[in-house]
Amino acid sequence: MKLPRRQFLHLAAAAATFPVLSRFARAQSYPTRPVHLLEGFGAGGAPDIVARLIGQSLSERLGQSFVVENRSGATGNIATEAVVRASPDGYTLLLVSAANAINATMLNLSFDFIRDIAPIAGIVRVPLVMEVHPSVPAKTVAEFIAYAKANPGKVNMASAGTGSTTHLAGELFKTMAGVDLFHVPYRGAQVFPALLTGEAQVYFGPLLSSIEYVRAGNFRALAVTTVARSPILPDVPALGETLLGYEASAWYGIGGPKRTPADVIEILNKEVNVSLADPKFQARLANLGGTALGGSPADFAKLISDEVRKWSRVNWAANMKRE
């Protein structure tokens, strides 16, 4: 049967738009049930706070609960592997962190982080603080470098565990400054008692957990580790002001299992970016000492790739073997 030209053109136009409409309808149906956002470091820390902030905002914007699950252990790898093994439907997500990039360079994992996690959106970057016990006779980074060179191997550098962000930040400093610091790993919160007693003399600690000690005069902050100074500690210089090119920070974003549908990633990316543009949300991030990241999934993928390359070089320079 031969169709009239007008009817044929109408049907052809409808057929051409069907894939777009179908994709739009499927996108609008997400999410239809609670979404689980896994973070790998336990309740109360910076990762948990960031996860709950973005989870609350996404819940309000998308009309479904974003439930934060604390799956602590193995420097974040328990949570990461759970997401890698999850169904790629957008209902199980990961709070991605700098620890994931470090783990990818240090550990023999049962998954390939870059291959198996789909980047969705960056959320925030938070500086570490280079802080020393008051007994250390250094008021600046330059003075600390001179002191460390005069006492090779005698200055104890604390970390929250071998391979942690706090450890690798210190290793990067050692390499760039040309100093010999003795690394002493501690279990999480045990690092602060060690620093308070002077058992350890220097620590590249998270800003959120360090700032009250700094304000109370328990520790002396020599520098923050991001490229720019922190508005929370505006009088404390950036470490890069002394060591040109130095940058080490905690950062967080959202990822999902590989093969997560592109339209789901698009929705989540858009809503994260809208959240980050909200002045109230920005103020909450500022309370963490953080600055918003945002951008496209490709932008977040580049950040992850750049971080993996950087920490690979630090691991090689420090002669740290994969475990």
pLDDT for 28: 59
User: What is the residue-averaged pLDDT of the chain?
Assistant: 88
pLDDT for 108: 78
Domain count, the chain: 2
Residue 133 pLDDT greater than 60, yes or no: yes
**Same domain, yes or no: 258 and 293:** yes
Q: In terms of pLDDT, which residue wins out, 223 or 103?
A: 223
pLDDT tens digits along 256-312: 999 999 999 999 999 999 999 999 999 988 888 888 999 999 999 999 999 999 998
**Same domain, yes or no: 138 and 280:** no
The CATH number assigned to the domain holding 173 equals 3.40.190.10
pLDDT, average across residues 102-128: 90
pLDDT, average across residues 139-154: 97
**Same domain, yes or no: 107 and 181:** no
**Same domain, yes or no: 171 and 305:** no
Asked, for residue 1, whether it belongs to a domain, the answer is no
Domain limits for position 300: 31-126+250-318
At residue 115 the predicted structure's pLDDT band, cuts being 50, 70 and 90, is: very high
At residue 321 the predicted structure's pLDDT band, cuts being 50, 70 and 90, is: low
Residue 194 pLDDT greater than 80, yes or no: yes
pLDDT for 110: 82
pLDDT for 174: 96
pLDDT tens digits along 61-81: 999 999 999 988 887 889 999
Asked, for residue 184, whether it belongs to a domain, the answer is yes
Residue 315 pLDDT greater than 90, yes or no: no
Three-state secondary structure readout of the chain: CCCCHHHHHHHHHHHHHHHHHHHHHHHHCCCCCCEEEEECCCCCCHHHHHHHHHHHHHHHHHCCCEEEEECCCHHHHHHHHHHHCCCCCCCEEEEEEHHHHHHHHHCCCCCCHHHHEEEEEEEEEEEEEEEECCCCCCCCHHHHHHHHHHCCCCCEEEECCCCCHHHHHHHHHHHHHCCCCEEEECCHHHHHHHHHHCCCCEEEEEHHHHHHHHHCCCCEEEEECCCCCCCCCCCCCEHHHCCCCCCCEEEEEEEEECCCCHHHHHHHHHHHHHHHHCHHHHHHHHHCCCEECCCCHHHHHHHHHHHHHHHHHHHHHHCCCCC
- From 196, 220, 241, the end of a domain falls on 241
- From 172, 207, 241, the end of a domain falls on 241
**Same domain, yes or no: 47 and 182:** no
**Same domain, yes or no: 108 and 255:** yes
pLDDT tens digits along 9-25: 443 444 444 344 444 44
At residue 41 the predicted structure's pLDDT band, cuts being 50, 70 and 90, is: confident
Q: Kindly report which listed range (10-14, 42-46, 122-126, 160-164) carries the lowest average pLDDT score.
A: 10-14
Asked, for residue 7, whether it belongs to a domain, the answer is no
pLDDT for 29: 85
The CATH number assigned to the domain holding 49 equals 3.40.190.150
At residue 109 the predicted structure's pLDDT band, cuts being 50, 70 and 90, is: confident
Residue 2 pLDDT greater than 60, yes or no: no
**Same domain, yes or no: 180 and 273:** no
pLDDT for 55: 96
- From 207, 241, 275, the end of a domain falls on 241
